[in-house]
Amino acid sequence: MTYNIVEYQNDSAGNTMLGNMYKQILYPAFPNEDERESLENLVKYMQEDCEGEKRHVIFILINNAIVGSMIFSYFQEVNAGFNSYIVVDNKHKRKGYASLLINEAMKILKQDVKENGQESLAYVFCEINKFNNGIPSSAYMIDRLGYMLVDVEYTQPPLSVDKSASNDLYLAVWSENKECIPTVDIKLFICSFFGKAFNIPLDMREQYIKLMYNRLSNKETVRLIKIIK
């Protein structure tokens, strides 16, 4: 089936597309409110000019209908990408669209890297839900793409003041090194990500940065673990 991949533009058509994607795909994909950004905050997030971070949304269209989308960022200081959301409409799952979105995002991130004066992308981070009773298809997918679990207890700050922090996520990373990651790089990512991406007061963001820093203390490197063992 013929498809197009287009990137969000900050105009009326782009915001309409973002709103339609949110209502039709993202909202039902995240029934837990603590893991789902509000549409208002998402639009604000994309319209803000955030120093040191480039934000992107891409959509897969079939006959002008959105069947999947991905929200991701590039953090200049740590030379790393972060995949916020990857969502595909239920009727179009298991057709390879999520992988297409990730591959397109990598092309865009590599362009961000070039514009930042770097030779290659150091890392791409993402969060995945913890799994105890069966492994979800999303975990198999990112395992195939070369992501590893970062061996540290992870807490995601609240998305906004009316939501709760989440301890039900793993932090995963793609990198050339499949054994470990320097602790200083994880701290730099945490500081960049937590410091910019959450609609909460600065003192709350700093609280969660400190929490993660404490968990990483006394370690020069952090082990990476296979997602699917």
Rounded Cα distance, 39 and 26, in Å: 10
Residue 44 near residue 159, CB atoms below 8 Å: no
The amino acid occupying position 192 is S
The yes-or-no verdict on residue 94 having pLDDT over 90 is no
Amino acid at site 129: N
Q: What is the CATH number of the domain that holds 222?
A: 3.40.630.30
Lowest-confidence region among 12-16, 133-137, 201-205: 133-137
Instruction: Give the up-direction half-sphere exposure of residue 83: CA atoms within 13 A in the CB hemisphere.
Output: 28
pTM (2 d.p.): 0.93
Average pLDDT over residues 163-170: 93
Structure tokens at 180: 């470990």
Q: Specify the number of domains making up the chain.
A: 1
Domain of 145, in residue numbers: 4-226
Radius of gyration over alpha carbons of the chain, in Å?
17
- DSSP, residue by residue, 187-201: HHHHHHHHHHS-BS-
pLDDT score recorded for residue 1: 66
- Residues whose CB is less than 8 angstroms from the CB of residue 222 and which lie 6 or more positions away in sequence, other chains included: 150, 151, 152, 180, 181, 182, 183, 186, 216
Mean pLDDT for the chain overall: 93
Contact 96, 137 (CB under 8 A): no
